[in-house]
Amino acid sequence: MTAAESAPPALVDPDAEGCQPEQRRELQQQRLGELVDRLLRADGLQAQRLRSAGVGSGADVSLDDLAKLPTVTKQDLWDNYPWGLLAVRQQDVVCLHGSSGTSGRPTLVPYTAVDVAIWAEVMARALGGAGATRSSVIQVAYGYGLFTGGQGIHHGGMRLGATVLPMSAGMTERQLRMLADLHPDVLCCTPSYAIYLGEALRAEGVEPGTGSLKVGIFGAEPWTAAMRDQIETLLGLRALDIYGLSEIIGPGVACESLDSDGQLNVAEDHFYVEAIDAEGHPVRDGTPGELVFSTLTKTGMPLLRYRSGDIATLSGPASGSPRTLRRMSKLLGRRDDMLVIRGVNVFPTEIEAVLLADERIGPHYLIVEDRRVPARPELRVAVESASAAVDTVTLGDQLSAALRERLGVGCQVRVVAAGTVPRTEVGKARRLERWTEGDAVPERWQVLL
């Protein structure tokens, strides 16, 4: 590795990414007051709650007392769908993004031109931290449309001055053709689709590391260090994590950089982040908690203390990095994805970490929380073997034992043939199902019984 390759990636915005934390905190305090004033002027739900909490202006709030202020939840967005939390005139909205969410209920978020400019700015920083430059070709295989993934990377790549290849999700044969013809150095997609592409390349006889790809930015679903190893082996690149949610800005809220020691730098001059416990109390750095975001600069639908539902830890800047930003860990899971099996709390990412650490299995799996008998809940896992020569019964028993040791609860593991677990070309991989009383088990999962 040359000195240039080992050097930390250049800062896209040195004043924002590399300023002293004390100076940034002063800016955050100023922007928090401005955010509160915007919400009060809008005179909507958040203004009502602020006034009920005794807040009459932005001068009444401080970062030190932020945890005492009311929060906003996705239920509030649903209850006020589609325009109820809008803080500007409707004609000032230049686009709408959102998603159906895990429950299928729609969430729409209005963006102004100011919001889109912020989005492009933080995404350009994220791409720069991954080593992308004006000379890069960025293949965007996230979906476009209401989903923020593809559009966010697109905005950031253009802001950086790179060449953006807007492939969108799916169309794997065309993705492979563009990889061969245009030689992109950056790939952006979900981690599950990165594995799908890697398998497709292997089927075409392409050896990992022989192509042009240098780095991948993968997000939109939780993934573990074990899956990182799988992706890097299949694609021969450096795999980095990115985090975002449409309610805040989409991808770019936080992103791992080449020098962030496996955690994600938060764009905290625009998004102030807290971590809280189940009762809403702040937790110490390094302690898992629910991430809560305040959009310090957004104008279309600014949010004060939005409860994301995502569980992670927070920490200070990476030692020795020119980036002085606070960091968040990879997601440990979601508050609503946590499984409670016979009194034991289990996140799907804990199960994945055990499964993918075993070289005898492939990267595709399904977790089932089986509550068809309420008095006897079961945790079931289907995972594919990496080779037809594997003794699937013995391997299943060994994985069950490893999961019991890691989780503290029994788990029924079935090792199935390669190709049994459905793949996805578009959207997020479905890795968790819940069977409740009265449910008929889908035919394709009879193998789990």
Q: pLDDT 10s digit of each residue in the chain, 449 long? A: 333 446 789 999 999 999 999 999 999 999 999 999 999 999 999 999 999 999 999 999 999 999 999 999 999 998 999 998 999 999 999 999 987 554 456 789 999 999 999 999 999 999 999 999 999 999 999 999 888 999 999 999 999 999 999 999 889 999 999 999 999 999 999 998 999 899 999 999 998 888 899 999 999 887 888 889 989 999 999 999 999 999 999 999 999 999 999 999 999 999 999 999 989 999 999 999 999 999 999 999 999 999 999 999 999 999 999 999 999 999 988 887 777 777 677 878 888 888 988 889 888 888 888 888 776 788 899 998 988 888 999 999 999 999 988 888 888 999 988 888 877 666 666 788 888 876 777 666 666 66
The pLDDT, as a whole number, for residue 135 is 98
**What topology does CATH give the domain 339-448?**
GMP Synthetase; Chain A, domain 3 (3.30.300)
- One-letter amino acid for residue 364 of the chain: H
The pLDDT, as a whole number, for residue 105 is 65
309 burial level (CB within 10 Å; 0-12, 13-18, 19+)? middle
Helix 113-129 and helix 148-160: axis angle, to 10°? Answer: 70
The pLDDT, as a whole number, for residue 113 is 98
Query: Which residues make Cβ contacts (< 8 Å) with residue 392, sequence separation at least 6?
Result: 385, 414, 415, 416
Residue 432 CA to residue 422 CA, distance in Å, equals: 12
158 burial level (CB within 10 Å; 0-12, 13-18, 19+)? middle
Comparing CA positions, the residue from 222, 224, 203, 151 lying closest to residue 429 is 222
The pLDDT, as a whole number, for residue 4 is 41
The pLDDT, as a whole number, for residue 428 is 66
The pLDDT, as a whole number, for residue 422 is 72
Query: Which residues make Cβ contacts (< 8 Å) with residue 230, sequence separation at least 6?
Result: 195, 198, 356, 363
Residue 144 CA to residue 152 CA, distance in Å, equals: 9
19 burial level (CB within 10 Å; 0-12, 13-18, 19+)? middle
425 burial level (CB within 10 Å; 0-12, 13-18, 19+)? middle
Q: Which two tokens stand for residue 199?
A: 């398998």
CATH number of 3-25+74-334: 3.40.50.12780
Exposure b/e, 200-232, CB count within 10 A at least 16 = b: bbeeeebeeeebebbbbbbbbbbbbebbbebbb
The pLDDT, as a whole number, for residue 10 is 93
Q: Given the structure tokens 């963006």, which residue do they identify?
A: 111
The pLDDT, as a whole number, for residue 306 is 98
Q: Which two tokens stand for residue 62?
A: 């401080």
Alpha-carbon distance values, 341 to 74, 98, 225, 374, 433 (Å): 26, 32, 24, 11, 14
Q: Which two tokens stand for residue 420?
A: 């049994």
Do 339-448 and 3-25+74-334 have the same topology in CATH? no
Comparing CA positions, the residue from 132, 110, 130 lying closest to residue 119 is 110
Spell out the SS3 assignment of 415-449.
EECCCCCCCCCCCCCCCEEEEECCCCCCHHHHHHC
Phi/psi zone of residue 82: left (φ > 0), alpha (ψ -120 to 50 degrees), beta?
alpha
Comparing CA positions, the residue from 148, 144, 141, 182 lying closest to residue 163 is 182
Boundaries of every domain in the chain: 3-25+74-334, 339-448
The pLDDT, as a whole number, for residue 445 is 65
The pLDDT, as a whole number, for residue 102 is 45
The pLDDT, as a whole number, for residue 1 is 36
ω into 82 cis (within 30 of 0): yes
373 burial level (CB within 10 Å; 0-12, 13-18, 19+)? exposed
390 burial level (CB within 10 Å; 0-12, 13-18, 19+)? middle
Query: Which residues make Cβ contacts (< 8 Å) with residue 25, sequence separation at least 6?
Result: 63
Q: Which residues pair with 282 in a beta bridge?
A: 276
Alpha helices (H) along 210-327: 225-235
Query: Which residues make Cβ contacts (< 8 Å) with residue 61, sequence separation at least 6?
Result: 32, 33, 36, 55, 69
The pLDDT, as a whole number, for residue 119 is 98
